[in-house]
Each structure stands twice: as structure tokens, then as C-alpha cells.
Chain A
Amino acid sequence: MKIQVVESVLKANDAVAHENRRRLDRAGVRCINIMSAPGSGKTTLLEKTIPALLPDIRCAVLVGDLQTTRDAERIGKLDIPVVQINTGRGCHLDATQVTSGIAALDLRGIGFLFIENVGNMVCPAGFDLGEHARAALLSVPEGDDKVAKYPTLFQPADIILLTKVDLIGVLEYCMDRVREDLSHVNTRAPLIEFSSKTGQGMEQWLSWLRSQKR
């Protein structure tokens, strides 16, 4: 006998993600899923962003890494709720891990929950976590060809930050190449040229974040 199923293999994850989103909605929390390669500046972005949103918006963070609590320790210095999720061998966060992370957080008075995904340009993009928006980071030292090489990270992004732009002169970086590649992949997401060192792009990023708070 043949049983017709037609059901996504990701159905279980998507159902949990949907529940996460509902729970965050009820708590009035907007959730941003931050994705990029390792070392492109996700933690540093959060270290700069979270104090800049105070005092009007308080934030909490879930950090995903294979090992260590180093990122959570860095963000914990900001005196905000933070939970480290160690995925062990897992190359991405899934919705169930985020459910556990949310359960460990006190969401009262929180405006934004940032999820710092596992550093990886391929796997995280396939898993809905219950976020409201996705931010993709691309750092200048990674090279100007990464949008073309890893389009599935950038295609569903709601905002794209090109980080460490203070290094553009040093590395002979071709911004036109990035823009050209994005013109085939995602023209919806704003592209912000960002530097945590000089502060370039910070106002644009904060303004985009505030626009996400409905």
C-alpha cells in the first residue's frame, strides 16, 4: 500500500518556530535572527547595539555556538539577560533549542530578543527559529565574492550589514561587486556599510531596528 503524505520534513521545526513567534508576540518582543560566517562581527555588533538602544529599549540575547560560553560572557557584561546555547556538533540553531533558550529568559520589559546564530553561511538559513526578521552580516575580510558564493544566506535577509568597512582601503575591496551580486539576489533588504570601530552605519542600523518595533 502507498500512503500519500506531502509533508515538509521541516514541519516539526516550523511548528515549534510558529509557537516561539506567538509567544514572543504575546510578550511584545521583536526577535531578530543574526546570521553570518564565524568572525564577521555578530557579537561585536550586539556589544555596540544593545547599550545604544538603552534606556528606551531593553534587549535579551540567545547565543548559539558549538562550544564555549565566551560570547555569552562578553554580552553578559552588558548586564542583560543572555543564554548560551551550545549545539555540540550542530551547525545551526533549531526552533526547539530557541524554545529552551526563551524559557530560561525573563522577557518582562524586553523589547528585542537577538538570536546570534551559529557562525555558518549555509545551514542556519534553512531553519525558522520564530524570529520576526533576519539580519545577514558579511565582513570585508571575508572577501567581496561571498554574496554570489552563498546566496541562500542573503536572499531571505531583511537587512544586510557589510561589517568592518574601515578595512576596505587596506584590502582593495570591491563594493560594486557586492552590490552587483546583491542586485540578483536581494534588492529588498537595505545594505548598511558598518564599522563598529568608527561607528559608521550605526545610526542607520538603529533606525532600522526601531522601525521593526511596531
Chain B
Amino acid sequence: MHEMALASNLYDQVIRIAQDQGPLTVTKIELEVGALQLVVPEAFEMAWEAIRADSPLAGAALHITEIKSSARCRHCERVFEPAIDNYLCPNCGQADAELLAGNDIILKSLVCEKEDPA
């Protein structure tokens, strides 16, 4: 259930940005999730709901897009798209892959409204 830790990190990150650049009310959060990060979107959304309930982010919509994986072969430098159970380089046949994308969760953008000065 590392989704809880990730959702908690996301909460802190969004609050920090909304404060630094605002104060802003966040209406939409756009996330990119890599296929290799082993995040179950349903579990992540459940964790997110628990964390953001009764918070300044309670009204923000969460939009998750899955992104393609990418790896570089340490032997021949070929960049290729690995599968979660297959990291074989299509050029040299070694499974010695440095992951470039797909093993991460990226906060891509925030849609916000300026808070009315009280």
C-alpha cells in the first residue's frame, strides 16, 4: 500500500505550490503515472480521497494518465520501451536497463483559481 505514501507526498507538493504561487484554489491535478511504478490507480485514488478529505484540496479533481516506459541499455545505449517483465534490449539482447521513464509519478500540472482576498 505504498499508494498512501505517494498520495501523501502529492498532497504536500500541491499545497506547497498553491501557497508559493498564490494563494490559489486548486481545481484540477494532472498526474502522469508510469506503468513500472506498480501503482494501482484505484488504490491511489482511494488513498488520495482519504488524505485530501476536509482539506483545502477537497474540491480538486484528480486526473491520472498512464505514460509509456522508457529505458536505456547500459551495454549498447539503445533506448527502448521495456515491459514490466521484460527489459531485454532489442539491439544487443542484454537485460541491463537503466530506466528513464515509467518508474515514477509526475505531477504534470495544476489548474487553479486565484483566491479572493478575504
Report the minimal beta-carbon distance from A178 to chain B, rounded to whole angstroms. Answer: 14
* Residue of B10, B95, B96, B107 with most partner-chain A CB within 10 A: B95
Q: Are B9 and A187 neighbours in the complex by a CB distance under 8 Å?
A: no
Closest residue of chain A to B85 (Cβ to Cβ) is: A151
A186 to B88, CA, bound (A): 8
Q: Does B105 contact A (CB under 8 A)?
A: yes
Chain A 170-214 interface mask (CB, 8 Å, partner B; 1/0): 000000000000111111100000000000000000000000000
Closest residue of chain A to B105 (Cβ to Cβ) is: A9
Closest residue of chain B to A188 (Cβ to Cβ) is: B96
> Which candidate, A90-98, A107-115, A159-167, is the interface stretch facing chain B?
A90-98
Q: Does A123 contact B (CB under 8 A)?
A: yes
The verdict on A184 contacting B86 (CB below 8 Å), with A3-B21, A122-B2 known, is yes
The verdict on A91 contacting B107 (CB below 8 Å), with A9-B13, A126-B37 known, is no
Report the minimal beta-carbon distance from A75 to chain B, rounded to whole angstroms. Answer: 25
**Interface of chain B, helix or strand or loop or mixed?**
mixed
Report the minimal beta-carbon distance from A99 to chain B, rounded to whole angstroms. Answer: 15
The verdict on A9 contacting B6 (CB below 8 Å), with A3-B17, A91-B1, A186-B96 known, is yes
Interface residues on A, range: 20 to 34
Chain B 72-112 interface mask (CB, 8 Å, partner A; 1/0): 00100000000011111000001111010001111111111
> Which residues in B have some Cβ–Cβ distance to A below 8 Å?
1-2, 4-6, 9-10, 12-13, 17, 21, 24, 31, 36-38, 74, 84-88, 94-97, 99, 103-114
